[in-house]
């Protein structure tokens, strides 16, 4: 059984302000929940329709039916389990090596996919502008496939952060140098811009290294790559010769 108050609390966590005031977020599905449990995420409570998760103390686990799961899930086709976790205290930023910085990424799926790419390419620090979608948004948590447990994510004033860094700053533009023909350092901040508007004018001023992913189509009409696929290509280029 899930009480009315629990349903109210969990569904409220779909909104950022309630995640913030309650310092809680939730994840759905066995794989993501297991990854979070194995990492340093503190479980508040697990709801499952199966007799699984033997490692979780019974005081922190409630077996519920499909009907109850539907009431708390954010998915149109709910999985078999949902777990509420405490939002961890933001860790100190890692200011060395390669850092990815996001200037107003708005789509939860894009942020989740980018976090998964950071994990794959060994990027330990993701820095998000305050306008970027919240990492504990349920759709982001879902799209990260567990990578949320392995990459340090910080929200900050991006302008202030980049203004004071001593690391080289990279950004992608239509008029940059060919990324395939530039030697890329293994230290620096790589900035990816908003889905519709790219990197903002204010941040663009702070970019010393303007890069371009060349187009190969003969009819050069494709206006841009999706930000997650562009991030994939850029991280691959930075790492391929490391």
Positions in the binding site for its own copies (CB under 8 A): 35, 109, 113, 116-117, 119-122, 145-147, 150, 180, 213-219, 221-223, 225-226, 228-233, 236-237, 239-242
* Cross-sheet strand order for the sheet of 169-178: 152-156, 125-129, 98-103, 188-193, 169-178, 209-212
The Cβ of residue 99 has, within 10 Å, a number of other Cβ atoms equal to 26
101 beta partners: 127, 191
Least separation in angstroms between residue 161's CB and its own copies is 24
Residue with smaller CB distance to its own copies, 148 or 162: 148
Least separation in angstroms between residue 65's CB and its own copies is 26
Residue with smaller CB distance to its own copies, 64 or 213: 213
Residue with smaller CB distance to its own copies, 19 or 116: 116
Residue (of 217, 102, 201) closest to 151 by Cα position: 102
Task: End-to-end CA distance of the chain: give it in Å, rounded.
Answer: 53
Least separation in angstroms between residue 196's CB and its own copies is 11
Residue with smaller CB distance to its own copies, 140 or 158: 140
What are the helix (H) ranges across 30-131? 30-38, 66-72, 108-120
Cα–Cα distance, 130 to 128 (Å, whole number): 6
Least separation in angstroms between residue 119's CB and its own copies is 5
Residue with smaller CB distance to its own copies, 197 or 242: 242
Which residues are CB-contacts of 61 (< 8 A; sequence separation ≥ 6)? 45, 46, 47, 48, 53
Least separation in angstroms between residue 9's CB and its own copies is 26
Least separation in angstroms between residue 85's CB and its own copies is 18
What are the helix (H) ranges across 103-197? 108-120, 138-144, 158-164
Least separation in angstroms between residue 76's CB and its own copies is 12
Residue with smaller CB distance to its own copies, 209 or 229: 229
Cα–Cα distance, 154 to 74 (Å, whole number): 25
Which residues are CB-contacts of 31 (< 8 A; sequence separation ≥ 6)? 145, 146
Residue with smaller CB distance to its own copies, 12 or 182: 182
């Amino acid at each position: 059984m899930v009480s009315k108050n629990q349903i109210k609390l969990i569904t409220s966590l779909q909104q950022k302000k309630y995640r913030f005031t309650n310092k809680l977020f939730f994840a759905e599905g066995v794989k993501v929940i297991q990854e979070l449990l194995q990492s340093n995420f503190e479980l508040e409570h697990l709801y499952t329709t199966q007799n699984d998760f033997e490692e979780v103390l019974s005081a922190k686990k409630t077996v519920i039916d499909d009907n109850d799961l539907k009431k708390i899930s954010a998915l149109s086709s709910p999985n078999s389990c949902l777990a509420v976790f405490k939002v961890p205290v933001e860790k100190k930023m890692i200011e060395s090596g390669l850092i990815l910085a996001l200037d107003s990424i708005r789509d939860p799926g894009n942020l989740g996919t980018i976090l998964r790419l950071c994990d794959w390419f060994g990027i330990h620090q993701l820095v998000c502008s305050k306008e970027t979608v919240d990492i504990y948004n349920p759709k982001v948590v879902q799209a990260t496939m567990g990578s949320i447990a392995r990459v340090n994510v910080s929200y900050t004033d991006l302008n202030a952060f980049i203004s004071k860094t001593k690391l080289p700053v990279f950004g992608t533009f239509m008029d940059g140098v060919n990324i395939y023909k530039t030697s890329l350092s293994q230290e620096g901040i790589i900035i990816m811009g908003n889905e519709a508007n790219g990197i903002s004018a204010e941040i663009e001023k702070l970019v010393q290294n303007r890069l371009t992913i060349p187009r190969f189509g003969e009819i050069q009409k494709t206006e841009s790559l999706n930000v997650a696929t562009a991030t994939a290509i850029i991280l691959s280029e930075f790492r391929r010769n490391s």
